[in-house]
Amino acid sequence: MKIAMINGSPKPEKSNSAFMLRKLEALIHTEHEVSHYHINKYPVNEYLYREFCNMDILVLAFPLYIDALPSHLFKMLITLEDYMKKQRKKEIYVYAILNCGFYEGNQTHTAIEILKNWCSRSELCFGQAIGHGAGEMLNFIENVPLGYGPQKNLGKAIESLADHINLQNTGDTMLFSPNFPKFAWRFMGTHFFWNVSAKKNGLKKREIFNRL
């Protein structure tokens, strides 16, 4: 099978979407042909749309933006819909990996419904989606083996997704949070992410709470 792994993150480098696509690819059977695309890093043109229409599987990985898809990814899908209706010659399955800054992975459910509706309009088969909470935490635990510690739930979900991709079939949506206490996540996020980011941008802690 020909598999397109599409990174929909606005970040050009070191995104959570790229991280999870790498973990997924390690579980894809070697007989499958895997191609990578980063639609915000390289321009999407007619050739690329036609290439997507010749795939057996599309895997979309992206962060949550206001409970929906990033605008550049949404724009690409709108154009791709027309290509799929006119040029697709075989059944194509769509799978998705979502991550969000909220601790609760179920915050991604609206974006998944949007993607399901797009698949229906584009006459594609929706395979499965996984939604991971506390996405920004991945940068701090990337050395933890997948399936262990705070990455236990993510490991199970990635394995499930890989199994369904390898067999080109459908599975249930999986929404989950990291295996890490929420209070500890909030503490670390405040002191090691938000406060640090504020300092890098020339802000003091008290200025974070200023209202415009």
- How does pLDDT run across 5-22, given as a tens digit for each residue? 999 888 877 788 888 899
Same domain membership, residue 196 and residue 148: no
pLDDT of the residue at 98: 92
CB 94 within 8 A of CB 42: no
Locate 22 and state its tokens: 């790498």
Burial (0-12, 13-18, 19+ Cβ within 10 Å), 206: exposed
In whole angstroms, give the CA distance from residue 100 to residue 131.
Answer: 8
Is residue 102 located within the same domain as residue 199?
no
Whether residue 1 contacts residue 32, with contact meaning beta carbons closer than 8 Å, is answered with: yes
Q: Same structural domain for residues 20 and 42?
A: yes
Residue 111: pLDDT band (50, 70, 90) is very high
* Total-model pTM: 0.83
Number of structural domains found in the chain: 2
**58 touches 119 (CB < 8 A):** no
Q: 176 and 205: one domain?
A: no
Which CATH number does the domain housing residue 81 bear? 3.40.50.360
Task: Give the structural domain span for 7.
Answer: 2-180
Domain shared by 108 and 209, yes or no = no
